[in-house]
Amino acid sequence: MTHGFYDATVPVYRRGLNGLLTLLARANESSGPDANPLDYLGSTAAEPLRPISGQIVISCHKAGNDMRRVLGRPVLNWPSVELTFAGVNQRIHETCDFLAGLGVDEVVQAQQATVTLGSAAKGNLRTMPATDFILARSLPQFFFHLTAVYVTLRQAGVKIGKPDFLGHL
């Protein structure tokens, strides 16, 4: 690992989000003339999971906002609106662009940061090292939500395989 914390985060999130874009492209192709890719966005793998559109938004927040938290930057609040197919693609691209713009040094230095979660009002305020926050919470949850999108699309009959998403291994 040449760049420590950077190598463990930015390229990993970017690769996952690119896989998500490929999945959505496959869903769009396979939707055909008589089905709308938007139908898939409302599908859900198993209750009480959120539908795909929500899973995608959370995936973007795990990648983008969790990195903003460790970098001490304000988090992005996207308006809660019903998303179109183009809309979710746009959010993934925005998140990829944000990650691509992060410098190696600033991320490596953020390894020293702490992150505060919860709220004083709710009495659940807690602080943890940035490394724990990202590696033990954010990245596993990121992959959870990406995989939920994959499984939901499979259940909906979209012709995809794991290599479309994560590459061959």
Partner 1 sequence: MSARPPTRRDGTALSLHDVAVAAYLRGLGGLVRVLEIVADHAASTGIPAATFLATPIVPGFLPFGLQADAACEHARYDTALLLGDPGARPPPSVRTFDGLTAATASAIGLVERLDRAALDEAGGRLLVVNGETVSGSDYLLQHSIPHFYFHLTAGTLILRHLGVPLDDPDFLWAAGSEAGAAAVERASAGSTR
- Quick one: 104 exposed, middle or buried, by C-beta within 10 A (0-12, 13-18, 19+)? middle
Nearest Cα to 70, choosing from 40, 113, 104?
A: 113
> Please, which residues have CB within 8 angstroms of residue 159's CB and are 6 or more apart in sequence?
26, 30
Residues 24-63 vs partner 1: string with x where CB under 8 A? ---------------------xx--x--------------
The nearer residue to partner 1, 72 or 167, going by C-beta atoms, is 167
On the question of a cis peptide bond just before residue 129, with omega within 30 degrees of 0, the verdict is: no
72 sits near partner 1 (criterion: CB under 8 A): no
Choice from 1, 81, 100, 121 touching partner 1 (CB under 8 A): 1
Nearest Cα to 145, choosing from 67, 84, 59?
A: 59
Compute the least distance from the CB of residue 4 to partner 1, in Å: 3
Of 66-74, 88-96, 99-107, 154-162, which part binds partner 1 (CB under 8 A)?
154-162
Residue 102 is given by DSSP the state: -
Contact 165, 22 (CB under 8 A): yes
* CA end-to-end distance (rounded Å), the chain: 20
Per CB under 8 A, which of residues 111..150 are in contact with partner 1?
111-112, 129, 131-132, 135-137, 139-141, 143-144, 146-148, 150
The nearer residue to partner 1, 87 or 144, going by C-beta atoms, is 144
108 sits near partner 1 (criterion: CB under 8 A): yes
71 sits near partner 1 (criterion: CB under 8 A): no
Rounded-to-5 percentages of helix, strand, coil across the chain? 65, 5, 30
The nearer residue to partner 1, 55 or 89, going by C-beta atoms, is 55
Residue numbers of the site for partner 1 (CB under 8 A)?
1-5, 7-8, 11-12, 15-16, 45-46, 49, 108, 111-112, 129, 131-132, 135-137, 139-141, 143-144, 146-148, 150-151, 154-155, 162, 165-169
